[in-house]
Structure 1
Amino acid sequence: MSFPAVVTLWFVNTATPGDVLAREPKADRGFGRKLLAQVNPAWPITPIGSFPLNRSSTPGRDEYYIAGFPGVSVVRMRVDDASALSAGNQWLGALPAADVFAVATGTDSDYGGFAHFTGETVVRSFCATRTHVIEDIGLPEPFEAPYWAGEKAEQAGGIALPFEPQDLALAAERHWLGADIGADGPDINVVGYAVDGHPEPKIEAPKPPAVKSVDAVAAKFAEKDKTYDDYEDAPVQSEGDEFAELADASVAAAKRVGRDARRRWKQFWAALRQRVRHFDR
């Protein structure tokens, strides 16, 4: 039986990855492109955007979310079967790392898994659904204790595990990295790439706001004055915006007047030269 899942791989070369992530470093677009080209030179690579990993949707098929920071690199992808993380894949050796941590959450089931590799050695790997343990390699680590004790989930009874495997997988990620990888944690900036050949999305530049006329802004002031009598305090919340609008409108009006004056002056001199040219007639 296969278990489709979203898998996040962390390549760690520092004793304090949480400190690196806490600084919210920016992601380099070139890093992910080079990494994908190394894994499969035949892929047509298209950047699809930059965003925080911890507040993004899951990657689609043929999409990868990648970032490389000092001492920490991350790759998130969708796989068709993550049932045995200890088996590894082409990604485990993609980057040199003292430790590689894999975290998997099922896309259409309650499957959850996590694995820790030191070099090519599997230190710990656990993959399961609530009712079926697929893989259990190595000794449980101390952070797992409250989950096995049933302190983190309602008990389902029968042969069900005393915890949700996805919850334990995410707890492993927090423990290994020393940081909250969820929405409440630091922004982990990544770049998304597609390898299915579709073109890079086009982003239109925002249009500048339209400048109102002086008459329109003055009418707004007049309408405001009519709304309140002399004994009431008119709200001042938007006065700054209205004065800014009046200034913008005045500048625009001055520019229009200047353009009109220059045009009329040119027309006057053109007519004068024409009359002088034909004066002897």
Structure 2
Amino acid sequence: MMRRLYPGREIEECEGSTLSDGVYPPSGTAYAASWPGVEVIADQRVMIDAPSQLTEDLVAASAGRRLVLHAMHSVVDWLAFAVWEDGHLVRSLSLSPDNGIIENIGEPLPFELPYWAGDRPADVLPWPGEEAEPYVLPFHPLDLGEDALRALCGFIQEGRTEPDDVDADAIELYGFHVRNPREPDPSESEAELRRAVEAMPPPRFFTLGSDGSLIEREGL
């Protein structure tokens, strides 16, 4: 399966994970599993802003079946998901508060309808000392993301589980290092980054003066 989905890549087996812990593998690593009728891949490389731009190799591999892409990033409240039926894209949505609606293709799926109808507004608490401001989107992407994950994949990452949810902790995934032989080895890139950090000058610290100017501080 890995050779079919990653043609031309160097693939080396490594330590695996579980469906609950392996949804965001390290860069260059993919977690995967296969059962009759179901194949699962977790890889940062498919977590793209515009799901409709998923690589043709992956879409072609889903011929005759349903393909689901699901990605979330809690730091920036980003959600993206898409559904293909027999290689044809039927629904794609990608949005975040910073970038708004990045992609919105096809008709909303049933689990989305309460969100677009305004029945699931975002409940965001302000920082201490700040006034609450309206959320820039009609709902919180991560709330919709959990409902999308349950509806499309049968499990959730956060929130209250339901009796019919898949026990993601019990689903084991194999681990693979996947590398494009035409790209630098990840260890070389990490070493280059370490050298760049070591060459940086010592950090400088500033505080805000009463007139709004920045005043440099000595150390922490």
TM-score, structure 2 as length reference: 0.63
CA distance in 2, matches of 1:76, 1:92: 15
CA contact (8 A) 1:150 1:162 kept: no
- CA deviation digits over 1:23-78, x for unaligned, max 9? xxxxxxxxxxxx23234454332222233211346211111111111111111100
- CA deviation digits over 1:218-239, x for unaligned, max 9? xxxxxxxxxxxxxxxxxxxxxx
Q: Work out whether 1:151 is the aligned partner of 2:115.
A: no
Aligned counterpart, 2:147: 171
How does 1:257-276 map onto structure 2 within 5 Å?
A: none
CA distance in 2, matches of 1:98, 1:80: 18
Task: Extract structure 1 runs of 4+ deviating beyond 4 A.
Answer: 155-159
Identity of aligned residues (%): 28
CA distance in 2, matches of 1:158, 1:43: 46
CA distance in 2, matches of 1:77, 1:67: 12
TM-score, structure 1 as length reference: 0.51
More strand by share: 2
CA distance in 2, matches of 1:80, 1:102: 8
Unaligned runs of 5+ in 2: 125-131, 180-184, 187-220
Q: Work out whether 1:194 is the aligned partner of 2:163.
A: no
Q: 2:65 aligns with which of 82, 98, 104?
A: 98
Aligned counterpart, 1:182: 157
- CA deviation digits over 1:190-211, x for unaligned, max 9? 111112479xxxxxxxxxxxxx
CA distance in 2, matches of 1:57, 1:122: 23
Deviation at 1:81, TM superposition (A): 6.3
> Which structure has the greater CA radius of gyration?
1
Give the counterpart letter for 2:122 in structure 1. Answer: A
What is the CA RMSD across the aligned residues, in angstroms? 2.8
CA contact (8 A) 1:130 1:161 kept: yes
- CA deviation digits over 1:60-101, x for unaligned, max 9? 111111111111111110028611111221322234442111
Give the counterpart letter for 2:92 in structure 1. Answer: S
Q: Work out whether 1:62 is the aligned partner of 2:62.
A: no
1:123 is paired with a residue of what secondary structure? strand
Aligned counterpart, 2:108: 140
Aligned counterpart, 2:217: none
Name the CA shift for 1:66/1:93 in 2 (closer, same or farther; >3 Å). Answer: same
How does 1:1-281 map onto structure 2 within 5 Å?
A: 35-56=1-22, 58-79=24-45, 82-89=48-55, 90-106=57-73, 109-131=76-98, 132-148=100-116, 149-151=118-120, 153-154=122-123, 160-177=136-153, 179-182=154-157, 185-186=166-167, 187-196=170-179
